[in-house]
């Protein structure tokens, strides 16, 4: 290992802040009562839970917030829950969307709905003219990824929403905000969408906690019944400590949102400029104008990303070759959706920064990547 380890996989998960861990520990020890209990041990946890939920609701400009186990459950409730409350029809997503969205296809079919995974642009986003060919009065739910987890592309959200509302006024529009929340501004009401999914561990909060923020007009059927928690929308005793910790992480992210975005964008620029100076064939994927500030998706022609990742990991630099949520996929569906053939897809790497990273780390990681990629290219040339 060359020096201290460098973590550049923040799109997969982030290191929890010290104050987040402290808040979670404090609540676990001092406010351990069931928030639904009527006695004195339940009052303080109940208040803490309501305060955390209200903070998350307000931070998104929503009418309500339903606490969940994370982004996947929030996506499930926002899409499948909305479809369950409607007559059978179309549910539209993009072919490049997260597995948390696309994997709902069979469950939707069981409800009589038909899920359409529409083709996307070379940047991974759903185009308005593509949506226009499929959106009609039968559209029940439209799912949109706001900030692609592998490519960094931001959608043309306002245009997509306007078209969907025009074609199907009663459509439920769900936005996966997992990669965007705490990094760029977002207001659910101003965006005219019905639900938004977030996940705490993507912005230095705890794992296993997220929420679905909803509008006042959203119609969603619960998927997890139980004791009536979360206004009857999600049964099960709430994780008070994690909810409080999520609110602490959210406040930290939002209070310095512009500063953090500028910092991460600068780190991406430092890293990319250094790499391109030595490896001019490298290409950045994703929309060049509409993109997340912290995510850098690169293709290095001739370099197998997985091999480079393993060699870099031995030298103390962690990054990914795609989403950590792909599991055992034999083919990366995102890269296939944007038109990359299998050989080219194997050359794609994702570097994602956070406010905890430094310019020195970006420079060191870029230098090590250049060294390893150059070695691999030389080895490949020697074998050919």
Q: Would you mind telling me the total number of residues written for the chain in this entry?
A: 384
In angstroms, rounded to a whole number, what is the distance separating the alpha carbons of residues 139 and 158? 18
Are the beta carbons of 285 and 298 closer than 8 angstroms?
Answer: yes
Longest dimension (CA), the chain: 75
In angstroms, rounded to a whole number, what is the distance separating the alpha carbons of residues 257 and 252? 8
In angstroms, rounded to a whole number, what is the distance separating the alpha carbons of residues 235 and 81? 14
Task: Tell whether the torsion through CA atoms of 54, 99, 229 and 87 is positive or negative.
Answer: positive
169 burial class (0-12, 13-18, 19+ CB within 10 angstroms)? exposed
Catalytic residue list: 325
Concatenated DSSP letters for 232-267?
Answer: GTB-S---HHHHHHHHHHHHHHHHTHHHHHHHHHHH
Task: Tell whether the torsion through CA atoms of 242, 244, 247 and 248 is positive or negative.
Answer: negative
Are the beta carbons of 62 and 220 closer than 8 angstroms?
Answer: no
Q: Is 16 helix (H, G, I), strand (E, B) or coil?
A: coil
361 burial class (0-12, 13-18, 19+ CB within 10 angstroms)? buried
Three-state secondary structure of 46-99: HHHHHHHHHHHHHHCCCCEEEEECCHHHHHHHHHHHHHHCCCCCEEEEECCCCH
In angstroms, rounded to a whole number, what is the distance separating the alpha carbons of residues 102 and 120? 14
Which residues on adjacent β-strands are paired with residue 297?
Answer: 350
How far CA 94 is from CA of 11, 321, 384, in Å, comes to 20, 21, 39
Q: Is 61 left (phi over 0), alpha (psi -120 to 50) or beta?
A: left
Closest residue by Cα to residue 351 from 307, 285, 295, 299: 295
């Amino acid at each position: 290992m060359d020096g201290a380890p460098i973590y550049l996989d923040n799109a997969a998960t982030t290191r929890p802040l010290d104050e987040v861990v402290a808040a979670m520990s404090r609540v676990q020890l001092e406010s351990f009562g069931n928030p639904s209990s009527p006695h004195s041990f339940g009052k303080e946890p109940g208040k803490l839970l309501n305060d955390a939920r209200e903070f998350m609701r307000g931070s998104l400009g929503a009418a309500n917030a339903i606490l969940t186990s994370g982004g996947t459950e929030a996506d499930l409730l926002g899409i499948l829950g909305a479809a369950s409350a409607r007559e059978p029809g179309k549910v539209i997503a993009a072919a490049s969307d997260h597995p948390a969205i696309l994997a709902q296809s069979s469950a939707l079919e069981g409800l009589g709905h038909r899920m359409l995974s529409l083709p996307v642009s070379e940047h991974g986003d759903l185009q308005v003219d593509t949506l226009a060919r499929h959106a009609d009065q039968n559209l029940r739910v439209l799912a949109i990824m706001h900030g692609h987890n592998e490519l960094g592309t931001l959608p043309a959200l306002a245009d997509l929403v306007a078209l969907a509302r025009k074609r199907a006024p009663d459509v439920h529009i769900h936005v996966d905000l997992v990669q965007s929340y705490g990094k760029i501004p977002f207001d659910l009401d101003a965006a005219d969408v019905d639900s938004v999914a977030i996940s705490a561990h993507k912005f230095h909060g705890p794992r296993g906690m997220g929420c679905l923020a909803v509008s006042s007009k959203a119609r969603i059927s619960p998927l997890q019944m139980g004791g009536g928690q979360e206004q009857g929308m999600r049964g099960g005793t709430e994780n008070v400590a994690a909810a409080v910790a999520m609110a602490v992480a959210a406040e930290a992210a939002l209070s310095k949102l512009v500063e953090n975005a500028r910092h991460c964008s600068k780190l991406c620029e430092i890293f990319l400029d250094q790499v391109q100076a030595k490896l001019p064939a490298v290409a950045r994927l994703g929309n060049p104008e509409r993109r997340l500030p912290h995510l850098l998706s690169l293709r290095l022609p001739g370099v197998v990303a997985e091999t480079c990742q393993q060699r870099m990991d031995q030298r103390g630099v962690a990054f990914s070759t795609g989403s950590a949520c792909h599991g055992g996929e034999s083919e990366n569906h995102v890269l296939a959706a944007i038109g990359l053939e299998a050989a080219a897809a194997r050359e794609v790497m994702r570097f994602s920064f956070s406010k905890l990273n430094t310019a020195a780390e970006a420079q060191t990681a870029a230098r090590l990547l250049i060294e390893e990629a150059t070695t691999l290219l030389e080895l490949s040339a020697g074998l050919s």
